[in-house]
Amino acid sequence: MIPKRTALISAVALVLGAMSVPQAAAAPFGLVGWATQGGGTTGGGSASPVTVTTASAFVAAAKASGAAVIRVSGTISLSSMTKVASNKTIEGVGSSSAITGQGLNIANASNVIVRNLNFRSWGDDAINVQYSTRVWIDHNTFSNGYDGAVDVKRASDYVTVSWNKFTSHNKTMLLGHSDDNGSEDRGKLRVTYHHNWFDGTQQRHPRVRFGNPVHVYNNYYGGVTDYGVASTVEGGVLVEGNYFENTEDPFHRGEGSSPGGSLVARSNHFVNSGTGDQGGSVKSIPYSYPLDGASSVKSVVTAGAGAGRG
């Protein structure tokens, strides 16, 4: 059931157009952001759930055609990146369901939801999204992996990454894999990152190429050791209402050999952190969204982010 307060906020936003609506309490757990666009994201929808407990059963269900709700029970160890086909919801049962060894390859797919899973010790990416649209990554926990936790690239579009916890990891979230891929990526790579908890992770929260507008709002950056957000080649990032604590470099333009993109920062909260580098302009956000006050984001996010919390 949608809380009356949330319904009222949504109604006001529809009347006033795409805008943020500051509020005193936590934003709802429902889908918000870019994954609401292009027809929306429903995953497997009302398909009868199928519970899997082995890697072979999981792989078969994930790559099969047709809508499916796949429930992961216990820990599944994957030996290779597993293809996820269109119209799938993949969700953990309870708070301890996990995927280890390797991760999910959401490639050439649309309308996919991944939620309530613990990803640990992956050998490539935990979740790789490429040539895919309408994807929602929600309420997962990521730790101790090799490469990206959630990487979005190669003309993917309409993605929301929300209420996840990232810990004990280096390369957290890459958006756009190469400075030379503009022919595919321009006008796409539109992603919303909100209410995620970056707990002592190092870099790429996210690192952005080409996507514009990319929306980074109401996230908690706690002790990020390298940098928070980087906007590079032709990127346009709105960094809004986030809580940065013990994070010397919260956001900047340019990274490595990549030239700077545009970055607009507003209404962020800083505790023992730098003030960041911003400049340029970013395209307008087309959807409405409830916005928590930045000073409350730490308590809101630490109470609600991660597997088993949604």
Cα–Cα separations (whole angstroms), residue 1 to 4, 6, 7, 30, 281: 9, 10, 10, 10, 38
Token digits for 77? 């160890």
pLDDT tens by residue, 146-190: 999 999 999 999 999 999 999 999 999 999 999 999 999 999 999
CA-CA distance, 58 to 199, in Å (whole number)? Answer: 29
pLDDT given for residue 12 in this prediction: 30
Mean of pLDDT values over 248-277: 98
Confidence check: pLDDT of 25 > 90: no
pLDDT given for residue 18 in this prediction: 47
pLDDT given for residue 310 in this prediction: 81
Give me the chain's average pLDDT, please.
92
Mean of pLDDT values over 15-21: 42
Confidence check: pLDDT of 271 > 60: yes
pLDDT tens by residue, 60-91: 999 999 999 999 999 999 999 999 999 999 99
Mean of pLDDT values over 98-104: 98
Confidence check: pLDDT of 32 > 90: yes
Catalytic residue (choose from 71, 115, 204, 209): 204
pLDDT grade for 27, boundaries at 50, 70 and 90: low
Q: Is 71 labeled as catalytic in the residue annotation?
A: no
Confidence check: pLDDT of 2 > 80: no
pLDDT given for residue 40 in this prediction: 98
pLDDT given for residue 16 in this prediction: 30
Mean of pLDDT values over 202-218: 98
For 14, the enclosing helix (H) or strand (E) is helix 4-16
Nearest 5°: the CA angle 117, 54, 151 is 40
**What pTM, to 2 d.p., does this model score?**
0.92
Q: What long-range pairs does 101-104 form, CB within 8 A, spacing at least 24?
A: 101/77, 102/78, 103/78, 103/127, 103/128, 103/145, 104/62, 104/128
Burial class (CB in 10 A: 0-12, 13-18, 19+), 56: exposed
